[in-house]
Homo-oligomer: A and B are copies of this chain.
């Protein structure tokens, strides 16, 4: 019986995501957002979510729709605001009102902690952030001539990532800078769902695969009209 990871609709691709889940969302600098999956997640409407996403707000992402819908309890990110200086985003308003929990990490720590979860490493030392407010209260240790901060892995229940092409094994390719956080998030989440531009009926050649299908549970071919 052949592996079949494709789901016919975005709704089916996000089915089963439940209240309290930790959701990882790929995308950075305008590329790699799984926006159709995020829209389907908003329609599904689970509550009390923790989002693991690099930017709490990006003008090309629709992360903010989850926040505006009141579905999000906590955001773990490296940028809790966009570069937009006009007014307050939905996130910023909730943050101002103390209605959303926030954990800000240096971007390298953010992604290394995700990679660590996928790689079976519960904690690691990093030089990043030592002596800054972001390391306040964290364990530190000196190795050689430098000081380091102990950081913990960040695991997810679900990763919603964007890629270019998938095959039936769930192998993925990415366009240019599209991969960013996607591969690490797919390894760190119990359920990884990929929104892709296209589906290849033949296997993606071994040397072209950028993320093994072992890490990908469901595939949704994005609706180009959306």
Contact = CB atoms under 8 A, between A and B. Distances in A.
Query: What are the 7 closest A-B residue pairs judged by CB atoms, nearest first?
Result: A124-B124, A122-B143, A123-B125, A121-B124, A122-B125, A122-B148, A120-B127
A204 B126 CA distance: 33
Interface of A: 112, 116, 119-127, 141, 143-144, 146, 148, 152, 173, 207-208
Given A207-B208, A208-B207, A126 B120 contact: yes
Given A207-B208, A208-B207, A123 B124 contact: yes
A134 to B, nearest CB: 17
A121 B123 CA distance: 11
A144 B124 CA distance: 15
Nearest to A146: B122
Contacts of A143: 122-123, 152
A181 B144 CA distance: 25
Given A116-B124, A143-B152, 13 more contacts: A112-B121, A120-B126, A121-B124, A121-B125, A121-B126, A122-B125, A122-B143, A122-B144, A122-B148, A123-B141, A123-B148, A124-B125, A207-B208
A58 B148 CA distance: 38
A120 B123 CA distance: 14
Nearest to A208: B207
A121 B124 CA distance: 7
Contacts of A122: 125, 143-144, 146, 148
